[in-house]
Structure 1
């Protein structure tokens, strides 16, 4: 018996009426029976212990849209911690690089979400921001780890001690889902429940920022140490669990995209990961990890400053969609004050903040306001100038994201 996650459609009877991602039902009109469009029913997520027979029965249930074995998730930890010295960090260099300091937009009226280790709600960086919080990790709302607080500070933090840390300083409404415990560990059902919670609200967040990954090695190790699986079997089971969780993530993303026809949608931004080691060998590159590599997610690589221009951080995983500053990033420290960290985790909130600026810019421009339109602008305006010679296209993606300029106002 093992624990499984089920993505279930509460209104399975309507599945046969699904056409193009919407649901139609007969209503009485002045000219007889008419068809009315309804939003797709919100999914529900259940977690159960299933035997092999239970699993077979569940796979035949038409109301279950996706099924996955629960697997561990983990924080995409800042890398390398010992090189991120506060005294070497250049304040607000990331904000300047993405053009947020000169943009006429501040993301006022845009709701954002951070799925991470929680947030220090009492930090001065979040004064005046309404924080809607939920704990999916079982370790309490407060952020004893500090990672989520740092990421949130980069997205929408107010100035701290005279230092600007936030890209989208006009945000006054944020949704914080604690999906990783204070040790930086979690499980996939925590993430899926949080995504369902964020996207299913009456006023959904317009951008979701997440800097975490599915822990395939940790899953295999747990099967060996806790379940006495042989290594080969543990690897096989973990690989199948990884695939199932990727399919479930894709199913959730598909449902979020279908909601866009009714509420404008939500853009998901995720860290590509920190497993590459280019300082050891230029060929020591690891591709973007899941969930960043999932369909419909804007994955983010990390950039640093070099003598010849912007450089791809040696730890940054390759094949991101876009890139952003991720080395020596100063943001909020849980408990008060500021700290400097490195990582694609630090690059991701820069992109989330810029995405929030584009939501505001498009809202004021009269362009149809959807997640697809925002993503298109985000990618089209990314720049490839300013990079050090020889920078690999596969390492930087579409380029460095840019905030909307005064030309958009």
Structure 2
């Protein structure tokens, strides 16, 4: 018996009749998709086979473990006793005329300490998908949220888009930092329904963890690896299909439409080891249509890629010695692509506001992504940094 994620398109039954009246139109032009995520528990192979054949079902995958991309210790990080978070100026948010005002941001993580001074005066809507209750006992989600839209704390600026007024906090990881693909997909659907324009995810599909889980159940190693690979593949397909459906909703929206998803590339590389090695961007950051983010650090002569940052991201952002909100109060410095990802989410909020302010009423996520990626800078790096390590460049706020 197995738990499964089932993705449905609730308009599927009505499409054949509509298409017969308009044969030249594609299904997405006839009627918008209506995605619905269901987590079905304890199904047999026969039962899930029957579900998969239903006319509304467009994707099925075994529920897979997810986990936060944990911050790591890094000797290059230096504690700062005063001053703003250095990433704010590095991405040009300190000189940008935009603040993120009017943009809705979703953070899918370990929750948030909504009573922290960094979030004073904001409208914060929390929903728990992890089963461990709202709030943030782990601290990761609070730190990420602080970098995206946190207000100043004790006179120190930590937030990129301090004008964001409404935030959606989907707790998809429990107090130990673990979750499931079912929780993630359900939260993405919720964020889309609530009209989030930017989504930040500093988490990954836990392939090694699933292999160990299956081995613990007595499965032979080759079978455990095979089963985990199938789950990894099928969850990626469901993820891609869900995001495709969400993008297909944009032309049907009334008002500013679209949802840009930003994800951390991962911390598995070992550039400082002997011999050095680089791990490719992990899922879901490597999925289609997602802005994947690598981490950079300050060096003499320009920015350098952090030793832990996974390769082939689309863009890079500050990820070492990042000052932000600490759950329970105060501020804390952390390192990781988890810390770089919210810099890009915050800059994306600034670009959303900029595009809308210029009179483009229905820009869609693609228009914002084009500006976000097209404005990335390459003239700020040390000479040895390669495109495969830093992507298109350092993400930069509108000026």
TM-score tier (shorter): over 0.9
Residues 275 and 286 in structure 1, CA contact (< 8 A), matched pair in contact too: yes
Give the count of matched residue pairs: 389
TM-superposed CA distance for 1:333, in Å, is 0.2
4+ long deviations beyond 6 Å:
none
TM-superposed CA distance for 1:271, in Å, is 0.2
Pairing partner for 2:215 from 194, 205, 224: 224
Which residue pairs with 1:29 in the alignment? none
Which residue pairs with 1:4 in the alignment? 4
Q: Deviations over 1:176-227 (max 9, x none)?
A: 00000010001110101100111123xx0100000000000000100111x2
Pairing partner for 1:385 from 379, 383, 386: 379
Q: Which moved more, 1:58-67 or 1:291-300?
A: 58-67
Q: Does 1:376 align with 2:382?
A: no
Q: Does 1:127 align with 2:117?
A: no
TM-superposed CA distance for 1:52, in Å, is 1.6
Q: Does 1:398 align with 2:389?
A: no
Q: Secondary structure at the match of 2:95?
A: coil
Q: Secondary structure at the match of 1:278?
A: coil
TM-superposed CA distance for 1:90, in Å, is 6.7
Which residue pairs with 2:175 in the alignment? 182
TM-superposed CA distance for 1:61, in Å, is 1.9
TM-superposed CA distance for 1:57, in Å, is 1.8
Change in CA separation of 1:21 and 1:108 when aligned onto 2, cut-off 3 Å: farther
Alignment of 1:185-224 (within 5 A): 185-201=178-194, 204-224=195-215
Q: Secondary structure at the match of 1:54?
A: helix
Provide the rounded CA distance (Å) in 2 between the counterparts of 1:136 and 1:370: 27
TM-superposed CA distance for 1:88, in Å, is 7.9
Which residue pairs with 1:32 in the alignment? none
TM-superposed CA distance for 1:142, in Å, is 0.8
Provide the rounded CA distance (Å) in 1 between the counterparts of 2:82 and 2:42: 48
Which residue pairs with 2:22 in the alignment? none
Q: Which moved more, 1:98-107 or 1:9-18?
A: 9-18
TM-superposed CA distance for 1:370, in Å, is 1.4
Which residue pairs with 2:247 in the alignment? 257
Q: Secondary structure at the match of 2:93?
A: coil
Which residue pairs with 1:63 in the alignment? 56
Which residue pairs with 1:317 in the alignment? 310
- How much is the aligned-residue C-alpha RMSD, in angstroms? 1.6
TM-superposed CA distance for 1:14, in Å, is 2.1
Alignment of 1:300-315 (within 5 A): 300-315=293-308
Provide the rounded CA distance (Å) in 2 between the counterparts of 1:178 and 1:81: 27
Which residue pairs with 2:28 in the alignment? 22
TM-superposed CA distance for 1:233, in Å, is 0.6
Gap runs ≥5 in structure 2: 20-24
Residues 301 and 317 in structure 1, CA contact (< 8 A), matched pair in contact too: yes
Gap runs ≥5 in structure 1: 25-37
TM-superposed CA distance for 1:316, in Å, is 0.3
Provide the rounded CA distance (Å) in 2 between the counterparts of 1:101 and 1:300: 21
Pairing partner for 1:298 from 283, 291, 301: 291
Structure 2 length as normaliser, TM-score?
Answer: 0.94
Change in CA separation of 1:319 and 1:88 when aligned onto 2, cut-off 3 Å: farther
Q: Deviations over 1:275-332 (max 9, x none)?
A: 0010004641000000000000000000000112100000000010100000100000
Residues 5 and 45 in structure 1, CA contact (< 8 A), matched pair in contact too: yes
Pairing partner for 2:223 from 202, 213, 233: 233
Q: Secondary structure at the match of 1:234?
A: helix
Which residue pairs with 1:342 in the alignment? 335
Provide the rounded CA distance (Å) in 2 between the counterparts of 1:335 and 1:39: 43
Residues 63 and 182 in structure 2, CA contact (< 8 A), matched pair in contact too: yes
Change in CA separation of 1:55 and 1:113 when aligned onto 2, cut-off 3 Å: same
Provide the rounded CA distance (Å) in 1 between the counterparts of 2:59 and 2:276: 37
TM-superposed CA distance for 1:63, in Å, is 1.2
